[in-house]
Amino acid sequence: MNLQMSLPIEIIKIIISFTNVKQQPILYYIFPEFFEHSPSFEQKQLNELLCWAAKNGDEKICRFVKKLGANDYNEMLIRAAEGGNELLCYLARQWGADDYNWMLYGAALGGHEKLCILAKKSGAKYFNGMLYGAIEGGHKHICRLAKEWGANNFNRMLCKAARRGHKKLCYLAKEWGATDFNEMLRRAAQGGHEHLCYLAREWGANNFEEMLSKAAKGGHEHICRIAKKWGATNFDEMISIAALYGHEHICQLARKWGAANFKVMLCNAAREGHEHICRLAKEWGATEFNLMLEFAAQGGHEHICYLAKAWGADNFYKMLYYAKEFNHKHICNLAEKWLNDQAMLMTGAEEEYHT
């Protein structure tokens, strides 16, 4: 069914305006006529569509959005290489793409050996980047090819493999000389990969405090419990990081284990706009609402500013200072309004006193 025939242009515009740019390529197929007769798209949207089409091998859309103004041909080259689309790699090159190191990365990420060879022939030399792409994609054969061509950063290979949960690639990195097992432990903990945490410990990792912090960052309760079992005790750090990333269940666990730094918890939550964590910190005893206001201003979170004010925050000068420093115009306007209101209240109170 072609919805283009049954919906007014105004409705289609609304649908597109509320759609994430990465989903807009799909709308091309639903509303082709609208796209073809409405070239007023942002540059970012056009380039997103170009890259999506390149990765998926759609030459027609690539040519179409180029006419509309898409011009990120190097990113097109990367995505075409990632998707294994040799023809579109040549097309991107014809249009001006020349970043063959990133092409090599994209080809490695997608596991396409033929395009890796093409990138190398075209001048790509960053074989460690190729190695990282191969790890991200989990392609062992491309890792071996990268090493054959000169890649040698096996510690970073180990860490990236641990973050992604690729056990076989961790073994391969160790076989090739990787030794940074504490970093492996941190990355595995952040990714929530229990089996790799055990493996890192078996190989000699012992920084369980960092393991706890990274597990808190990722929101992985089971990894936090293992870190505690192995000796981690910095639960205040755990709660502050969990607050920063909005993980309420980790905050609850940290408090249960003895965390008490609710001031930092409140400030971190305010900076990132996590209202539910702010409320939790207040419930547990946090009272530093002017600090909360300052951090909310830094992050540009208007709803948190209102909440801090409702709880008693009144240092609007500091709020205005941080809003200006971090270039949040809407927070500046709000702070100026509250400062004016505050001045009027003080003037009124003073007049009433003298009367």
Q: How confident is the model at residue 45 (pLDDT cuts 50, 70, 90)?
A: confident
Q: What is the per-residue pLDDT for 354?
A: 56
First CA to last CA distance, the chain: 76
Q: Does residue 286 surpass a pLDDT of 50? A: yes
Q: Does 128 map to a domain?
A: no
Q: What is the reported pLDDT for 24?
A: 56
Amino acid at 20: N
- Map tokens 């990268």 to a residue: 146
Question: pLDDT at residue 179 above 60?
Answer: yes
Residue 352 pLDDT > 90: no
Residue 349 has pLDDT above 90, yes or no: no
Weakest mean pLDDT among 26-40, 113-127, 267-281, 315-329 = 26-40
Residue 124 identity: A
Half-sphere exposure of 42 (CA within 13 A, CB side): 8
pTM of the predicted structure, to 2 decimals: 0.81
CB 119 within 8 A of CB 90: no
Q: Is the pLDDT of residue 29 over 60?
A: no
Q: Report the half-sphere exposure of 186 (CA within 13 A, side-chain side).
A: 11
Residue 70 lies in a domain: yes
Check residue 5 and give its pLDDT: 41
User: Could you tell me if 12 and 31 are in contact, meaning their C-beta atoms sit under 8 angstroms apart?
Assistant: yes
Of 68, 89, 110, the position where a domain reaches its end is: 89
pLDDT above 70 (res 334): yes
- CA–CA distance from 58 to each of 1, 32, 96, 103 (Å)? 21, 14, 19, 18
State pLDDT tens for residues 61-78: 899 889 888 999 999 999
Measure the CA angle with vertex 261, ends 253 and 320; round to 5°. 120
Among all chains, which residue has been given the structure tokens 């089971």?
222
Predicted local confidence at residue 4, as pLDDT: 40
Whole-angstrom CA distances from 133 to 68, 160, 191, 242, 264 are 31, 10, 17, 29, 37
Residue 31 inside a domain? The answer is yes
Tens-digit pLDDT profile for residues 234-269: 999 999 999 999 999 999 999 999 999 999 999 999
131 domain-assigned: no
> Residues near 159 by Cβ (< 8 Å), separated by ≥ 6?
180, 183, 184, 186, 187
The Cα–Cα gap between 241 and 219 comes to 10
Domain extent, residue 353, equals: 288-355
Q: Per-residue pLDDT for 169 more than 70?
A: yes
* Alpha-carbon distances, residue 323 vs 19, 60, 155 (angstroms): 29, 46, 41
CB-CB neighbours of 14 under 10 Å: 12
Picking from 53, 74, 89, the residue at the C-terminal end of a domain is: 89
Residue 206 domain-assigned (yes or no): no
Predicted local confidence at residue 1, as pLDDT: 32
45 belongs to a structural domain: yes
**Per-residue confidence (pLDDT) for residue 64, from 0 to 100:** 85
One DSSP character per residue, 231-286 reads T---HHHHHHHHHHTT-HHHHHHHHHTT---HHHHHHHHHHHT-HHHHHHHHHTT-
pLDDT level of residue 351 (50, 70, 90 thresholds): low
Tell me, what's the pLDDT at 203?
98
Cα–Cα dist 205/180, whole Å: 8
Task: List CB contacts of 141: < 8 A, sequence separation 6 or more.
Answer: 111, 113
Burial class (CB in 10 A: 0-12, 13-18, 19+), 202: exposed
Tell me how many domains the chain contains. 2
- Using one digit for the tens of pLDDT, what is the confidence trace for 80-100? 999 999 999 999 999 999 999
Is 58 part of a structural domain of the chain? Answer: yes
Q: Is the pLDDT of residue 9 over 80?
A: no
**102-152: per-residue pLDDT in tens?**
999 999 999 999 999 999 999 999 999 999 999 999 999 999 999 999 999
pLDDT for 7 equals 45
Q: Long-range pairs for 168-173 at CB < 8 Å and ≥24 separation?
A: 168/140, 169/135, 169/138, 169/140, 169/143, 170/196, 170/199, 172/140, 172/143
Amino acid identity for residue 6 in this structure:
S
Instruction: Identify whether 203 is part of a domain.
Output: no
User: Which of 41-45, 61-65, 200-204, 258-262 comes out lowest in average pLDDT?
Assistant: 41-45
| pLDDT for 344 | 83
**Residue that is last in its domain, among 89, 114, 140:** 89
Token pair listed for 76: 């097109």
